[in-house]
Amino acid sequence: MTDSANPTPSARPPRQPRTGTTGTGARKAGSKSGRSRAREFALQALYQHLVGGNDATAIDVFTRDLSGFHKADAAHYDALLHGCITTAQYMDELIAPQLDRKMSEISPIEHAVMWIGVYEFQHCQDVPWRVVINECIELAKEFGGTDGHKYVNGVLNGLAPQLRATEVAADKAAARG
């Protein structure tokens, strides 16, 4: 393609390779599982709870009407939303010692992502601890601040040996041996 003022081909920006990730490193929508999508919707719902103080039932009704919800694992979404809200105080007590600042200074996105991680560590034993952390990092990359995923990673890595002691110890032993 040329224009009349400049006979050389016009420069086009290079195409981004289709690797399954966006420019920020987050996964593209087409490569997400139903559980990953459930985590995304739960994150949005938990954000509403943290920021607006909205009731879980009202949040649930609103979230289920969002575009794409039908592709999410609804049972996992339910467990995350209602489980995190029900056990929020307990989870905050677990998270707080891992923080370098007050809980009130943590972004609501990172706060909700950490809730999801802690909840899955405790109640979703079928999800390996490293997968829990990776999924939470992905959520923080996609929805959180620039380096929020690093903070979430540090907190959840600090909690994993406490909440998944046997599994973490077995992984570390396998890595040494």
Domain residue ranges in the chain: 32-173
**128-173 residue pLDDT tens:** 999 999 999 999 999 998 899 999 999 999 999 999 999 999 988 8
Mean pLDDT by 10 residues, the chain (177 residues): 47 49 50 90 96 93 93 95 97 96 95 98 95 96 93 96 94 86
pTM of the model: 0.81
CATH number of 32-173: 1.10.940.10
Q: How far is CA 20 from CA 28, 32, 41, 166, in A?
A: 5, 9, 20, 33
Question: Of all residues in the chain, what percent carry a pLDDT higher than 90?
Answer: 75
The conformation of residue 54, written as its DSSP 8-state character, comes to -
Q: How far is CA 142 from CA 28, 37, 54, 97, 171, in A?
A: 10, 12, 23, 26, 28
Q: Is the dihedral of CA 150, 77, 104, 145 positive or negative?
A: positive
